[in-house]
Amino acid sequence: MDVALLGPAVSDQKEVTRILFEGFAPSTIEFFYLLGLSAIGIFCWGFYVQIRKYRRGASAGSWNELWSRARQMAQLVLSHRTIARRDRGAGIAHRFIFYGFLVLFIGTATITVEYDGTSRFFGYKFWYGDFYLWFSLAMDLAGLSLLSGMLYMMYRRKWMKLPKLDYKRVDRQPGDADYDRSFYRREDWAFLWTMIFIGVTGFVLEAVRLVWLGSDPHVWNYRWWSPVGALLAQVMASTGLSAEGAGLLRTNLWWFHGLLALTFISLIPFTKVKHIFTATGSLMFRDPLAAQRLPKVDLTGEKIGYNTITDFTWKHLLNLDACTKCGRCQEACPANAVGAPLSPRDVILSLREFANNALQSNALPDEVKLNVHGKGVGQVFMETLWSCRTCMACVEICPVAIEHVPIIVQLRRKLVEEGEMDPLLQKTLQTIHKTGNSFGESKRKRATWTKALDFPVKDARTDPVDLMWFVGDYASFDPRNQKVTQGFARLLHNTGIDFGILYEDEMNAGNDVRRVGEEGLYELLAENNIASLNKSTFKSIVTTDPHSFNTIKNEYPDFGGKYEIEHYTTVVKRLMDQGRIKLDHLLNYRVTYHDPCHLGRFNKGFDAPREILKTLGCELVEMARNRDNSFCCGAGGGRIWIPDPVGTEKPSQNRMREACAIEGLQVFVVACPKDLTMFEDALKTSGYEGKFVVRELIELIEEALTTVTEEEAVAV
């Protein structure tokens, strides 16, 4: 931009600036400084109280690699990548607010640096002339940016009626003390109006100053460098506002604006505004594998899991405060979608309220008052915790890296210790302890599925193999899944892969047992499997079960089991690329693909299955909720062992409804044994049977490999 356009060029004209506290008596200025320092004092006290609150939590080892953490945090904050996901409007508006606020903060800080720093102590000034003019323009634009962002946020709250911005709780009844959470709504509006008032008074203040000092060419001639102020000044002047009137108005407005801003600063640590610090802090200490690799605990210790609020790590306490109530987790939650009494946000907010009540006072309350489990205000219900599928949808979408799933599992660990769980789940855990599998079958029946094959499957315990196949419970014992398992065995065999299995020495991998919260049983299973794997000779592991895949890949290393493991889709994709799998014919089906949580969201295995489908000649039509936003089948977190309430829609049925909206859909493709079980069942119970079929990807691959007559081909 040409500087001359906005007024005469003014290099080094010291008069072109804004005189701070112009026309104020020294005592008034001193009074203002007193107020300012008090505001900062209150801010610091609040800041200290928050830090003290976090320090009352347990330790968490997150202080490593601080520099790279800080860099990643800065990238996320500056790019707003996480805030813009699945809500573009909010992302854009928050960028306007964030950058507006940032520029205004830097601007105000710059003035302070000159006035109370370089100028006061060294007599050095720089806030004049060209710099001052560009500065004014930047501040005006920043103010506009802030205001427009705020106005959009008001529009969202008032007119868009977003369900996720309704803070009413799904785990409480109308009439319960903490049901409607209207105080959050009031806080939202108070914040929005405060920012609007600060912004608007800032602009008006700019305008009245221009009218007041209109006779000074160093002010008036450069007025368009603050365009909003100049425009308002023009309007004011045209309504006949005199310089004296403007001067009087300016003094009053100055105090209003100043006091509002100071009040705002002092209240930051006590209100939602603190998310400036807590959210960045939470992002700073973000664990990219938070839900994939649950926290290991000392089983010999006195306690396990989260019972009291002081059992929480300081990082999880910080997480609670980082929540900005944006509701993305609630929107993504499969339990919430089918009306279960769980909203990940409500869990976080309940615990936050609990922490604020219990940990912000000078002295800690009694141990018994710190118990977060129960039906009281701020406590979390056991029904809520057991509704969770640990599908990670909440953790994955959270813009500020809150670890809902690890927190829920920690809370469940306590419930499991107390036996507070569904009797059927209790039975299943005992069964797994007794037999090593969730089907209650004897160990020696684990490899029964191999008997139907016309070739022997190598015993990897005695013969070295290239590829160790960890089969998993559902693929081993469930009769429907055994067909798929046999199909994969034939595929490996026919491709000439040297593979083997652990036979009866394989146990349930423990992924879901761990997510239930039965850490002791998990360790037993993991240690047994690791011992069996270590006794065998192999190069890498493959599994068709995403649950086993996740825990072996991400969690076994914590127990000394470090292996190279792939999901079968990756292996098959590679074999296809190498030309080792030759198709007999293309399938030409119209299909949709369901991302298993543990393969997709947990481990980013989105592409291999899709590319295989493409190679098979299938036309893939995506459901609205796909890839990272895939909708859990409802089986995760041990929920496959807990019956769903009768009369309500199950997550799997909800998913069938979504798939059925795809015109001409022929096959609903899955790549997970539990998915096959869940969705074949849901297809029947949701009344869509006959419209399309549910198939494991392996079945489609096998079909494309087999020469068939034409009638057989159409009769899917």
444 binds other proteins (CB under 8 A): yes
The window from 375-383, 415-423, 642-650, 685-693 that contacts other proteins (CB under 8 A) reads 415-423
Instruction: Give me the least distance between CB of 296 and other proteins, in Å please.
Output: 13
Considering the complex, state which of residue 70 and residue 299 has its C-beta at the smaller distance from other proteins. Answer: 299
For residues 303-332, which are near other proteins according to CB under 8 A? Answer: 304
Q: Is the Cα torsion angle 166, 86, 142, 137 positive or negative in sign? A: negative
Considering the complex, state which of residue 421 and residue 484 has its C-beta at the smaller distance from other proteins. Answer: 421
Residue 95 identity: R
Considering the complex, state which of residue 75 and residue 430 has its C-beta at the smaller distance from other proteins. Answer: 430
104-116 b/e with 16+ CB inside 10 Å = b?
beebeebeeebee
The window from 167-175, 201-209, 427-435, 483-491 that contacts other proteins (CB under 8 A) reads 427-435
Instruction: Give me the least distance between CB of 475 and other proteins, in Å please.
Output: 20
Considering the complex, state which of residue 62 and residue 435 has its C-beta at the smaller distance from other proteins. Answer: 435
Determine the Cα–Cα distance for residues 126 and 133; give it in Å rounded to an integer: 12
Considering the complex, state which of residue 281 and residue 637 has its C-beta at the smaller distance from other proteins. Answer: 637
Q: Comparing C-alpha atoms, which of 662, 699, 661 is closest to residue 680?
A: 699
For residues 278-307, which are near other proteins according to CB under 8 A? Answer: 299-300, 304
> What is the CB neighbour count within 10 angstroms for residue 709?
7
The window from 223-231, 311-319, 426-434, 645-653 that contacts other proteins (CB under 8 A) reads 426-434
Q: Comparing C-alpha atoms, which of 699, 642, 704 is closest to residue 481?
A: 699
Instruction: Give me the least distance between CB of 673 and other proteins, in Å please.
Output: 22
For residues 463-522, which are near other proteins according to CB under 8 A? Answer: 518-521
Instruction: Give me the least distance between CB of 316 and other proteins, in Å please.
Output: 21
233 binds other proteins (CB under 8 A): no
- Evaluate whether 545 touches 673 at the Cβ level (below 8 Å): yes
Instruction: Give me the least distance between CB of 432 and other proteins, in Å please.
Output: 10
Considering the complex, state which of residue 26 and residue 419 has its C-beta at the smaller distance from other proteins. Answer: 419
89 binds other proteins (CB under 8 A): no
Residues 131/134/136/141 CA torsion (nearest 10 deg): -150
- How many residues lie near other proteins (CB under 8 A)? 23
591-608 b/e with 16+ CB inside 10 Å = b?
bbbbbbbbbbbbbebbeb
291-310 b/e with 16+ CB inside 10 Å = b?
bbbbbeeeeeeeebbbbbbb
Rule CB under 8 A: choose which of 442, 534, 588, 685 binds other proteins. Answer: 442
Question: What are the φ and ψ backbone dihedral angles of 313, each rounded to 5 degrees?
Answer: -70, 155
Instruction: Give me the least distance between CB of 442 and other proteins, in Å please.
Output: 4
417 binds other proteins (CB under 8 A): yes
In a 13 Å sphere around the CA of 410, the CA atoms on its Cβ side amount to: 27
Residues 651/654/660/666 CA torsion (nearest 10 deg): 10
Strands 667-670 and 693-696, bridge-based pairing: parallel
Residue 616 identity: L
Rule CB under 8 A: choose which of 39, 394, 421, 475 binds other proteins. Answer: 421
242 binds other proteins (CB under 8 A): no
User: In which residue are the tokens 């592409």 written?
Assistant: 607
Provide the 8-state DSSP code for 371.
B
- Evaluate whether 508 touches 500 at the Cβ level (below 8 Å): no
Determine the Cα–Cα distance for residues 582 and 615; give it in Å rounded to an integer: 11
Distance (Å) of CA 77 to CA 148, 264, 340, 394, 513? 20, 22, 33, 19, 36
Rule CB under 8 A: choose which of 460, 468, 524, 669 binds other proteins. Answer: 524
Provide the 8-state DSSP code for 644.
P
Rule CB under 8 A: choose which of 80, 445, 590, 657 binds other proteins. Answer: 445
Rule CB under 8 A: choose which of 26, 288, 419, 479 binds other proteins. Answer: 419
Considering just the CA atoms, what is the radius of gyration of the chain in Å? 31
Rule CB under 8 A: choose which of 150, 195, 347, 416 binds other proteins. Answer: 416
Considering the complex, state which of residue 520 and residue 617 has its C-beta at the smaller distance from other proteins. Answer: 520
Considering the complex, state which of residue 358 and residue 525 has its C-beta at the smaller distance from other proteins. Answer: 525
Residue 610 identity: R
Considering the complex, state which of residue 325 and residue 413 has its C-beta at the smaller distance from other proteins. Answer: 413
Rule CB under 8 A: choose which of 429, 460, 572, 682 binds other proteins. Answer: 429
Instruction: Give me the least distance between CB of 412 and other proteins, in Å please.
Output: 11
Q: Comparing C-alpha atoms, which of 175, 182, 169 is closest to residue 344?
A: 169
For residues 132-171, which are near other proteins according to CB under 8 A? Answer: none
Instruction: Give me the least distance between CB of 365 and other proteins, in Å please.
Output: 24
Strands 499-501 and 467-469, bridge-based pairing: parallel
Considering the complex, state which of residue 163 and residue 560 has its C-beta at the smaller distance from other proteins. Answer: 560
Instruction: Give me the least distance between CB of 529 and other proteins, in Å please.
Output: 15
Determine the Cα–Cα distance for residues 69 and 463; give it in Å rounded to an integer: 45
Rule CB under 8 A: choose which of 353, 523, 555, 703 binds other proteins. Answer: 523
Considering the complex, state which of residue 287 and residue 527 has its C-beta at the smaller distance from other proteins. Answer: 527
Question: What are the φ and ψ backbone dihedral angles of 495, each rounded to 5 degrees?
Answer: -85, -5
Determine the Cα–Cα distance for residues 357 and 477; give it in Å rounded to an integer: 50
Determine the Cα–Cα distance for residues 637 and 129; give it in Å rounded to an integer: 64
Applying CB under 8 A, the residues found at the interface with other proteins are: 299-300, 304, 416-417, 419, 421, 423, 426, 429-430, 433-435, 442, 444-445, 518-521, 523-524
